[in-house]
Each structure stands twice: as C-alpha cells, then as structure tokens.
Structure 1
Amino acid sequence: MDVKESHRERQARATKEQVAQAARGLFAEQGYVVTTIAAISAAAGIPAQTIYSAFGNKPAILREISRLWIAEADTRRLAQESLVISDPAERLRSAAHWHTRQFETGIDVIRIYQEAARADARMAAEMQRVWAAREHELELFLQSFKGQLKPRALDIFLACTAAEVYQILVLDRSWPVEDYEAWLGDTLVSQLLP
C-alpha cells in the first residue's frame, strides 16, 4: 500500500534538512564542539525549541547530516552497480569512483565526526560502529572477486581509501578530484590484482 507523506511530515522533514544544512556549515566552519544549538537556530532561522523537539541534541543533528550526505553521494547505488562489472580492473576503478564521490561530497562530515568522537565517548562509539559497518560492506564487495585478489586485499583497500589520504592529496596538496580518482583506481588495480 502506497502511503502518501502528509503536509506536516513534509514540513518536519524540510525543517530537519534546513537545520542539518545550517549545522553542517557551522560545524565545518567553527567546529562541532563549540557550535551551540542557539547558533544553529540563528543560522537556520528555526527556533531553538523546535530544534530540540526535532532532534534533542547535537549528535542527532550530526546523524541527520550524515544521512543527507550518504543520500547525496549515492554510494550505495554506485557500489551495487559495480558488482555487475565482470572485469576485475574495471570493478576496482568503479570502487575508486564511488569512494571519490563519497569523499568529494562529504569529507567535511567525516572531519566533523572525527572531532565529535574526540570530544564525546558516545560519538566515538558511534563512529566505531560506522567504520565497522563500512569495513563489513567492503569485505563483501571484495568477496565478489572470488579469489582474484592478492592476500590482505581488505587491509590494502582500507589503507588506500582512508579519508586521510584524500585529505592529503586533494585538500592539502590541491590535486584535482579527477586526478585523485584516477590515482586511486590505478593504485587499487596495481595493489590488489595479481
């Protein structure tokens, strides 16, 4: 049965998205720890009480930011599409593409999470769960190669696709995103295929 979203539900979703967008900018600009709900309220043009009612706290706002980022990056669909690519090198280059897309659209979110995890044990535990889930998904992806990869493929893949590598090459060293993606694809192919 197709259930239509009510006007109130659409309004609530739009409010949450507006708050998340404002918070994402503030968290990236001035830091997660020092950003207050009052500052988010002012930036979003949404009363603080509405933000507390919708989210309850900053970690919940950060989860909404993450949800919106994952939807924007569309990496789940891209990863699924890569599974049907029969050529192992092309499948790895496809993985380089969706990892690049994820970083390009959300390296700021990763950095915000890292700051939040340093300041809050609950956020550190949440970040550990997220990384564990990512590792599990990558392990499943690499199993799709059915023994065509070198030993320790997961370890090598995780090292090559670490957010810190993207940070160094693209943000610190000013590589164009296309160059990073090409480098990552070439590196995965040369390091993982016999």
Structure 2
Amino acid sequence: MNVKVGPTHRQRQTAATRSQIAAAARQLFAERGYVATTIAAISERADIPVQTVYSALGSKANILQEVTRLAIEPLAVTKTWVQAAAGTPEEGLRISAGLQRHQYEQMYDVVTTHLEGARVDADIARITAGILTNRERGVGAYLESIAAHLRPRMDAARALDIYLTLVLPEVYRSLVLERGWTPTQYETWLGNQLVHQLLR
C-alpha cells in the first residue's frame, strides 16, 4: 500500500519563508518599482534577515520569479484553456477573455514589474521572454485548433497577431486604470473583439 507523505516541517517553513519574502517584494515592486527596490528593503519589509533572503531565493530576479509563480498559481491557466477547447470557438474566445481579465485584475502589478525589470536585468529579460513564449505557444495551439472557424483568408498566425495585440497590458491600463472601465466591461469588450475580429 502506498502512503502519501506530505511536506516535512522544514519544507513547510522554507515555503512559508519564500512566500513571506515574495509578498514583501511584491508590495515594494508595486510601490517603488523593480529598479528602486533593494534586497535590503525586501528584508526589512518581510522582517527576515538579508542573509536568509539570499539563501532562500538568491537574487532579486529569483524573487520576482517566485512572486510570479505565486501570482499565477491560483489562476489555473491550463485548466481554463482546457475548458476553452471543450466549447465552441466563440465560447472558447470568451473564456480566454475572462482568463485575461482575471490575470490583469489579480496581477497587473506583476506584469508591469516584469516589463520594467526586463529593461535593466538580463535574467528578468530571459524569464519574461520565456513566459511570453509559453503564452504565445499556448494561444497559438488553441487558434490552430479552431483554424477552420477563422475569418476567410485568415490563418492561425495572423489570428495570433491580432489576439496578442488586443490583450496587450497597455489596452487594459488605458481602459480600466485610466478610463474607468470595470474589469467586467473590459472582459465583455475583449470577448466581443476577439469573436468579431477572428471568427467567421
């Protein structure tokens, strides 16, 4: 009989420390920006010694990576794309609009931190490029699966170009953060645009 063994007390402590560091760092990145936030400031905000911060996560780039992992985890991105694939193309695109809304609603600050960090930190640039590549691959695979339903003379590659443009963070910032749209209004608009621009 197989007995499932949970994490040890030490492993739980390590995970809690990493989470505490990430929470403090996320606050500071949002308040001060990636560049202006120091490991010392993260240590002070988290109330964890600097040496422990380094031993737990190693660098500011690694801390941002942990912030991102913890922010993405509750979104269940893979599960959402499975649901999208199970519906009609219109339902799938509206589900993807909902996913994009929730991503920005819950972690827009993390997205902008990545964009800032990528301009000054080669590690962040590499990590950010990897995230964007994985997203593009996932969306591209979905659009390939509904290629027969796309507008005439539109292939999956062109559909991907349009999709990625519509979901740019600058669009969310303009409509929701600057123009006062609600996240629900953004989701509805995005879903309508995806359906209108991409499907027959």
Q: Same fold (TM over 0.5)?
A: yes
Structure 1 distance, partners of 2:45, 2:97, is 35
Structure 2: segments with no counterpart, 5+ residues: none
**Number of aligned residues:** 193
TM-score normalized by the length of structure 1: 0.95
2:8 aligned residue: 6
Structure 1: segments with no counterpart, 5+ residues: none
CA contact (8 A) 1:75 1:99 kept: no
Structure 1 distance, partners of 2:113, 2:83, is 29
Specify the code of the residue in structure 1 equivalent to 2:54.
Y
Q: Identity of paired residues, percent? A: 45
Structure 2 distance, partners of 1:177, 1:154, is 23
Structure 2 distance, partners of 1:146, 1:37, is 47
Deviation, 1:119, is 1.0
TM-score normalized by the length of structure 2: 0.93
From 70, 73, 76, give the equivalent of 1:68.
70
Quick check: 1:169 aligned with 2:175?
yes
Quick check: 1:105 aligned with 2:122?
no
Deviation, 1:48, is 1.0
CA contact (8 A) 1:31 1:112 kept: yes
Structure 1 distance, partners of 2:77, 2:173, is 19
CA offset digits 1:109-158 (Å, max 9, x no partner): 01000111111123212212221111111101112214211311111111
Deviation, 1:35, is 0.8
CA contact (8 A) 1:75 1:102 kept: no
CA contact (8 A) 1:117 1:123 kept: yes
From 23, 30, 43, give the equivalent of 1:41.
43
Point out 4+ residue stretches in structure 1 off by more than 6 angstroms: none
